[in-house]
A and B are shown apart, each in its own frame.
Chain A
Amino acid sequence: MKKLVAILLVCLFLLAACSSGASNNENSGDEDKVTISLFSSHGQFNKGNFGERMVEEFMEANPDIHVEISYAHGSNYNDTLLALASSGDLPDVIQPTGNFSLIDLIENDWVQPLDDYVRDGFRDDFPDSAFAEGINIIGDDTYTFPRIVAKRGSALYYHTDLMEEAGLDPNAPPQTWDELLEMSKQITENVDGAYGFAVPLNEDFPHVILLAQAMQPTLDTNGFDHQKGAYDLDSPHVIEAMEFLLKMRDEGVIHPNSPTQELLDYQGLWANKQAAFGFNGHHFVRVNEFELDGVEDYNVAPIPVLEEEMQHSQLSLGADFNAYISSTTEHPEAAGKLIDWFSSQEFYERQQAEDLLLSPLDSNLDEIDNEQLKNLANVFEETVVARPVFEQDEAAFKVKQEEAALSEPQKFWQVVQGAYIGEIDDWQSELTKINDAYNERFQQAIENVQAEGENVSQDNFTFPDFDGTKDYLVE
């Protein structure tokens, strides 16, 4: 028995030694030095990237603060953040993915206003449109701030060298669907190992909606029409765009690996010059430069439209979100200093110049050196429209939250994939079926929120005077 007691005591001592070791580490060095943790979902904070360098500079300028950076991508980030929150171990500063909205974060008590911990006149350094109720502020409380240009969307990325090899003018990218098809045919026929077009069909990527938006500019990438206040995934324009995609498939100009491609595979395929044209988002210039070994000979143009006189139009929120101070941090002042650095003119300037992400400050947008980034900024300037922000209404936002908690119907991209590989013959009926299911779910969410006593209806999401071609806020 004595031996047993002795063994248990040894175990306890070992445990105590381990735990005291950990706390000693935390307080090692200068007693006044505080350590804060930053958990980011953005690739720029991955090891050796721009974000890490900037944090090192911050620590040099603030020797009393040590910042521990951790990074996770996409769903890994989401899982980890949920786990950390559940165990009460939220990092001091979080930079979540778009899956976590401000209201979600506040409702779960994960974040706190940053106004008391950042410089005076914090909001004044940004354009008025940079902050919007429900997106990054609630009343007078500022929770987060823009990271990159808020008006952003997708563009056509094309390889100029492949166009040239196929006998096409590299300075004249396809502007219409017909041109996209014809040029894709020429590239497929004339360039060995390359196809005209590629799409990541095994991923929630809105290529069909991007094609439809020129004809239905009030449609967002989730298939929600902000003018109608309802989902419109089976609209004639979406069907027309879908038919065009299938026509491209039938013509054999789409890379045959497309049905199994997820976003990262697709980006790699495009970067390896296996496809000349592809749609992608604002971050792709950065990805091409830093994560795909510096892709060369490419450029950026607006998404092709059905007819020449049309203008592609895509919707975005007027405001953006970046880092938050967690509600459980013991060092909000240090976290505030870090946020001051992340939101400084210098940080944004260098982020644009060194990390190829467009600045949220209008003054920086005139100073873009990188050709593709410059073109991308022009594409966004031409095509991106600020949509009505229904999130400003708390009850309306609750509806969207409730909707997300209800069982989700089959996803649009899955129907596109099913139709593309021939698993769904009557895909138009399937689109109607899922559109009805999405609208039923939306109505159910409205009813559930109404049952809680909130005054909300479909009207909160319907903006008849919004035509999708002009910023709603400006109007």
Chain B
Amino acid sequence: MEVVSTAKRSAKKKHISTIRRREVMWCYIFLFPQLVIYLAFTLWPIIASYYFGFFNWNGTGWPTHFIGFQNFVEVLQDSYFWGAFKNSFIYTIGLVVIVVPTSLIVAIILNSPKLKFATFFRSMFFLPVVLTMAIVGIIMKNIFAFEGGFLNEVLLNIGVIQEPINWLGNTAFAMVALILVGVWKGFGIKVIYWLAGLQTLPKDLYEAARVDGAGIVQQFIYITLPLLIPFLVVITFFQTVWAFNVFDLVKTFTNGGPYFGTDVVPLYIYRYAFEIEGGFPRMGFASAAGIIYGFATMIISIILGILVRKFGSTKTT
């Protein structure tokens, strides 16, 4: 009797093991296409750019003219690289400082059960997210134009300014304009992230706080904010990485101008890799710039990643 039951157990175990193997096999089958795409279009270009960075190479054929660290030294000595780096940093800080807190405030308002037409407002805030960045850049160029630009016309008509502002013809104003457009473009998605976070908060905590006499401000400071810290870190992380890699908006909106006022590193790299003026591109140099910038982005990502890990696992009870 016992032998029969052991055999049954063994058969069942074998059956389960077969099912698990099949499941694992299917996992690999489904992963395979993605893995191939990842290897071909992500990992290989990264590895290749490290290799190309050591060559004087114009992008045609296979690089043969090895020049050691010359490209890297040249990038590090180029004041325009550091200018672009500074601009990338200013843009990123500008976006994070504006978008992260304001999108939280808007999300809290949109999350209120008392708000009518909440879905409509959410859609309105989300609309810019789905617009093509290149189109946004071109339209914004007209909106921010000095002569006949929509923004100047509005500001003049409502009396905020007496003289039109040359938004895109002045380095400081151009960066402000770029940040404002960046904020507008990415705001909606951050609101959605915050809304997702807000909807996970336990309602009983708020009820208990109200019973204890806590007001709206106190509830926000002592319950909402601490509970949202993991979301804050994640949203800041996404916003930082996204802003640090901005390219399409700058390319179409200001093209890095005027006079390098909004030049950012991805655009700097693009100029050397693709914009050919009076010769072939400098792919090796562009690769070196990309690697250096990649390291900088990686360091920032690691710091933010550590914060995500630290605060993301914080017990919030």
Task: Report if B23 contacts A (CB, 8 A).
Answer: no
Most buried by A among B78, B147, B279: B279
User: Which of A78, A202, A257, A410 lies in contact with B145, CB distance below 8 A?
Assistant: A257
Tell me which residues from 236 to 267 in chain A have a Cβ below 8 Å from any Cβ of chain B.
255-260, 262, 265
Using a Cβ–Cβ cut-off of 8 Å, how many residues does chain B contribute to the interface with A? 38
Q: Does B255 contact A (CB under 8 A)?
A: yes
**Segment at the A interface, from B100-108, B164-172, B189-197:** B164-172
Find out whether the CB atom of B279 lies under 8 angstroms from the CB atom of A401.
yes
Within 8 Å CB of B254, what residues of A? Answer: 260
CB atoms of B276 and A405 under 8 A apart: no
Residue A142 CB within 8 A of the other chain: no
User: Can you name the residue of chain A whose Cβ is closest to the Cβ of B174?
Assistant: A260
B6-51: which have CB < 8 Å to A? Answer: 25, 29
Q: Please report whether the interface of chain B is mostly helix, strand, loop or mixed according to DSSP.
A: loop
Structural contact, A259 and B278, CB atoms closer than 8 A: no
- A residues 406-449 with Cβ under 8 Å of B? 407-408, 410-411, 414, 417-418, 421, 423-424
Which chain B residues border A414 with CB–CB below 8 Å?
A: 259-260
CB-CB under 8 A from B170, the residues of chain A are 421
Chain A residues with CB under 8 Å of B274's CB are 75, 78-79
Q: Is the CB of A260 within 8 A of B280?
A: no
Contact with B275, one of A75, A86, A257, A260 (Cβ below 8 angstroms): A75
By a CB distance below 8 angstroms, the chain A residues around B276 are: 75, 78, 99
On chain B, the residues within 8 Å of A310 by CB distance are none
Whole-angstrom distance between the alpha carbons of A255 and B147 in the complex? 8
A260/B60 in contact, CB under 8 A: no
Option from B25, B56, B147, B259 in Cβ contact (under 8 Å) with A423 = B259
Known contacts: A274-B147, A404-B278. The answer to whether A108 contacts B258 by CB under 8 A is no
By a CB distance below 8 angstroms, the chain A residues around B74 are 407
B226 interface residue, CB < 8 Å from A? no
How far is A347 from B224 in the complex, measured between Cα atoms in Å?
A: 75
Flag if A222 contacts B278 (CB, 8 Å).
yes
Alpha-carbon distance between A256 and B145 when the two chains are bound, in angstroms: 9
Which residues in B have some Cβ–Cβ distance to A below 8 Å?
25, 29, 56, 58-61, 74, 78, 80, 141, 145-148, 164, 166, 168-171, 254-255, 257-261, 274-282, 285
**Could you write out 24 A-B pairs with CB less than 8 Å apart?**
A78-B274, A82-B60, A99-B276, A104-B279, A193-B148, A201-B258, A256-B146, A256-B164, A257-B146, A257-B169, A260-B145, A260-B168, A260-B169, A404-B278, A405-B282, A407-B78, A407-B282, A408-B278, A414-B260, A417-B258, A417-B259, A421-B258, A421-B259, A423-B171
Q: A108-B61, A259-B168, A414-B260 are in contact. List 7 more A-B contacts (CB 8 A).
A: A82-B59, A82-B281, A202-B255, A258-B169, A259-B257, A260-B168, A411-B277
User: Which residues of A approach B to under 8 Å, CB–CB?
Assistant: 4, 7, 75, 78-79, 82, 85-86, 99, 104, 108, 193, 201-202, 204, 222, 255-260, 262, 265, 274, 401, 403-405, 407-408, 410-411, 414, 417-418, 421, 423-424
